[in-house]
Amino acid sequence: MNQKSKFALGGGGYCLYAPRFPKYQLTPGFADECLVFNAQLPRMFVLSVLEGGMPVVLTPGKWSLTNNVLRVEYGTESKGLKIVEERMVTSDDRFVSTLTLENSSKNDTELDVVMWTTTDVEGDPVSFEGDSFRVKRQLQTHDFPPVPTEIVFTNPDSKGAKCLQGFFAEGGSDRPDWEETPWYDRAELVTPKAKKPMVKPSPILDTATCYCGLFRTVPLKAGASATHRFEANVVFKGKGINYRPRRPDPKDENGWLAFMERAPRFSCEDKDIERLVHHRLEALHLLRIPNGVGHVSNPCVCEGNGLFHEPISFSSPAIVRDARWLSDPSLARGILKTFFENVKQNGMVPGRIYMTSLQGADFYHADWGGGFEALDDVHNDRATKRAVLKAMERYAKWLDNHRDPEGSGLTDIVNHFENGQEFSRRYTVIDDKADRAEEFAEQFRLKGIDVSVFRYRLVRFLKRVADDLQEKAMANRFEAATENIREVIRKRMWDEKTNMFGDVDPKSRRKTGVKAAVGFYPLATDIPTPQQIDAMLAVLGDKKEFWTRYPVPSLAASDSAYDPDGQWKGTRRGCPWNGRVWPMINSHVMEGLAYVAERGNKQASKLLGELFKKTVAMCSGAAEGLDVARVFEHYHPENGRPSRFRGVDWYMHSFLLDNVFRVGCGFVVRFGEIQDDPVIAEMPDFKLAGCPVGNKRFVVERKNGKLRVTPE
């Protein structure tokens, strides 16, 4: 299947259908990769239609996606038979496919609809329960802790379904073809024997596959139709875990309508911007997960599809900044609480939140201060501040003790994974084996400019939080740390040779001289002097450095390791940071340019307008000539094409909603009110209804350059 016509189905639960490399998306059922939290299943189930024991060839025709429900019309060789499928993933983790079979011919017929799937030969045997069957497994992908799962496969709308006899089988292509199942060449659809529901193989071949399924016979008279629903209900059961969510409203089973009621409604004369905003809201719907299972203690949002379908600290502050535009702040607040309620005993914030264990969880530096401050501007809440302040203080102390043990005021990176920016000359310049790391263990020490800015923003905002909560002693400590870190970054990390901020080698105390795009992150703060700002803007706008056709590359084009194709030492890497354009970097750079532009810098405003335009073109699909928005991990700096080879097209490590509203729409929320504060020259007319500020909602509208704000 062409990647450009991919789609995703989700209900805001723990399950998601968003295959990275789909082959069978228009095959009835869920025949491609499905996600059960962060565990990947090659398929959930397939629906096959039989007539006279032989499979009916279904040819997909028109398909549409409405309210995140897929509708597919299938044609058949028999002109009198038409099949329509409606497919969705519900908010209580059920994969649902409803088939409507229409017989417009003059002859009666009888069909069998088979719901079947495959599983491994290990673990608990499949439980056959008459008209349903159950698969119980500890699902695990990569080296993540297992996900304790029971999946119940049913045809729940009426009686009449029967289990198929299960079989162990060797061989096959893993295609969703009925002809390759063990049932195809049998005389009839066999049901399990009461005493021996499955014949245990001897020996068990670990390369074999277990086939299981159910079927129902559907008699269709001439001119009649019948509708039947098939579903796989995912339940989480394990040690200390017994999660059963409430059944959703039958009129809104996937929670789409309820979620969109809490989302702002946006229209814009620039349709690229409009598509991008709608895509980000859809991504929040698809990637959100509820509280209730293991360490997921609050509503949260996963970073993306594939291996990223779990809460990850690397992206979570950015997701907070997008989720703050929902009228219900519980999702954004839940992200903060989930991570800081799971802070480890020594104060480290886990890199990922798993259901069953936090052992071995990695660590990522992240802009927690920036995310928390942005949320507080829109949804000020003292209860949230009280809930996370102490844990955030412990985290700040952990950074002091473990990432700045000498008390320099600068923050260490100890491997090329922990700030999410592997494969870059930032690290190999001080350790030529830095790119060979396979785990998150300490390998080197580098005073990083980006992580030092993150730490600065954290302690600066925590000072404000402590003041608000009357924690005077704590506020004084944070104020002292803020002043110290600001001065040290300004003096020790400014490189007069490169005219930008950069990393420092703590051993030699010398600047590395590597021009990485994260060196522009201080623009969003009060760290740089006016002279430093002007120098940085000159470097940023230089076509020989960072101003590529689609900026901003993660590494300067003049660097010897720069590669716009993402190759590192001869191999195209999955996550290269040696020249690809990452939306995360663009979000931070746009934030910095806006901070400078709103203080009257015309060069910053000019660069910001161009960068915003190019970022929207990449993420809205316009750079590829498409009218479907997707946000990928990284893009080509010369043509703006995305990393489709990764298959990850639902990715949340940037704060593009913030960028759109601040830059493209020209307004900002300050001091509890919406203010008109343009930072670029050309802005489209737009209308944003349901814009939240605290418990109030507003309509924000720009017409002919004039902003109007009215209560909703």
pLDDT of 507 reads 93
How many C-beta atoms surround the C-beta of residue 498 within 10 A? 21
Residue-level pLDDT at 182: 94
Flag whether pLDDT at 1 surpasses 60.
Answer: no
Q: What's residue 489's pLDDT?
A: 98
Half-sphere exposure of 621 (CA within 13 A, CB side): 18
Q: What is the pLDDT of residues 300-332, one digit of tens each?
A: 999 999 999 999 999 999 999 999 999 999 999
DSSP annotation of 688 reads E
Supply the DSSP string of 154-211, one letter for each residue: E-TTSS--EEPPPEEE------S-GGGSTTTTSSS-----SS-SSPPPSSPPTT-EEE
**H or E segment to which residue 337 belongs:** helix 330-340
Any domain includes 172: yes
**What percent of the chain lies above the pLDDT cut of 90?**
91
Counting the structural domains of the chain, the total is 1
Q: Is residue 510 in a domain?
A: no
Average pLDDT, integer, range 166-179: 91
Q: What is the pLDDT of residue 408?
A: 97
Amino acid 206: pLDDT? 82
Distance CA 684, CA 75 (A): 44
What digits encode the pLDDT tens for the residues 109-127?
999 999 999 999 888 889 9
Q: Which amino acid is at 573?
A: R
φ/ψ of residue 696, rounded to 5: -110, 155
Q: What average pLDDT does this structure show over 186-190?
A: 90
| Averaged pLDDT score across all residues of the chain | 95
Average pLDDT over residues 65-72: 98
- Look at 86-95, 252-261, 358-367, 660-669 and tell me which has the smallest mean pLDDT: 358-367
Residue 373 lies in a domain: no
Residue 5 in this model has a pLDDT that exceeds 90: no
Can you give the length of the chain in residues?
712
**Does residue 290 fall inside a structural domain?**
no
221 pLDDT tier (thresholds 50, 70, 90):
very high
Residue 261, classed as helix, strand or coil, is: helix
What is the predicted pLDDT for the residue at 3?
Answer: 64
CA-CA distance, 582 to 577, in Å (whole number)?
A: 8
Q: Answer yes or no: is 41 within a domain.
A: yes
In the chain, the amino acid numbered 601 is: N
> Does residue 199 register a pLDDT over 80?
no
What CATH number did the domain enclosing 154 receive? 2.70.98
Residue at 35 is within a domain: yes
Residue 441's pLDDT band, with cuts at 50, 70 and 90, is confident
Q: Which domain holds residue 49?
A: 3-249
pLDDT at 2: 63
Is 73 a member of any domain? yes
127 domain residue, yes or no: yes
Q: Residue 554 and residue 449: Cα distance in Å, rounded?
A: 14
Angle at 651 between CA 649 and CA 655, to 5 degrees: 135
CA distances from 232 to 47, 88, 115, 237 (A): 12, 11, 10, 15
Higher pLDDT, 47 or 198: 47
Under the banding of pLDDT at 50, 70 and 90, the label for residue 361 is low
Task: Decide if pLDDT at 157 tops 70.
Answer: yes
Stretch among 7-11, 140-144, 493-497 having the lowest mean pLDDT: 140-144
pTM reported for the whole predicted model: 0.96
pLDDT at 412 over 70: yes
